[in-house]
Amino acid sequence: MGNESIRFSTSQLSRLKTPLGHLIPGQPSQTMPRLKELVERTHPPKIITVGDVVSTEAQVAGIPVSLAIIDGKTMRHGYAPPISKTRVTFHVVNPAGTISQESWQAIKNALKQEAATVIVEGEEDLLAIPAILEAQLNALIVYGQPSQGIVIVEATSQRKTKLAKLLDEIRRQSPQAG
């Protein structure tokens, strides 16, 4: 990863709309028990949640989230996640349609902690990508697929390679802000 932020064009963003992992359809009342069951069965080394609703629902369901990446969008509507104060918190700026260098670095640092939260000023939608690429093998990355359910991505070496290739392609196509 170079020192530049990655900006995505609309067409590139639409390529990323496809779930990066396994989609579990339904409301949190249906998706969280399935996630919990998977966690209990596979014992992932880390669980990373991307998005306010997913992060909060996972905590409420008693799923041991190591890293929560949230942007507080839903919190502006009185949605305060029950995130414990013992967690290490990183504050980053990440504009919509971008993976900022700062966010990427914060995710990398946050993953070294026992439990951390990355609070994003801007948008956290694309941050599942650096989370997958930086997570240790077999970690689970969970994010919401709007009005569909949740997507669970297992950080396998195969998936990391595929995603890194996609990012390289995107980086080569995008006009770098200089």
**CA pair distance 17, 43, nearest whole angstrom:** 28
Alpha carbons within 13 A on the beta-carbon side of 81? 28
pTM to 2 decimal places = 0.89
What does the pLDDT read at residue 6? Answer: 87
Contact assessment for residue 81 and residue 75, using Cβ atoms and an 8 Å cutoff: yes
**CA pair distance 178, 170, nearest whole angstrom:** 17
Task: Identify the three-state secondary structure at position 22.
Answer: strand
**CA pair distance 55, 68, nearest whole angstrom:** 6
For residue 84, give every residue at least 6 positions away whose Cβ sits within 8 Å of its Cβ, in sequence order, or none.
115
Instruction: For 107-150, write each residue's pLDDT tens digit.
Output: 999 999 999 999 999 999 899 999 999 999 999 999 998 889 99
% of the chain at pLDDT higher than 70: 88
Can you tell me the mean pLDDT for 101-109?
97
Instruction: For 32-82, write each residue's pLDDT tens digit.
Output: 999 999 999 999 999 999 999 999 999 999 999 999 999 877 644 544 555
Q: Which two tokens stand for residue 47?
A: 């669980």
pLDDT at 85 over 70: no
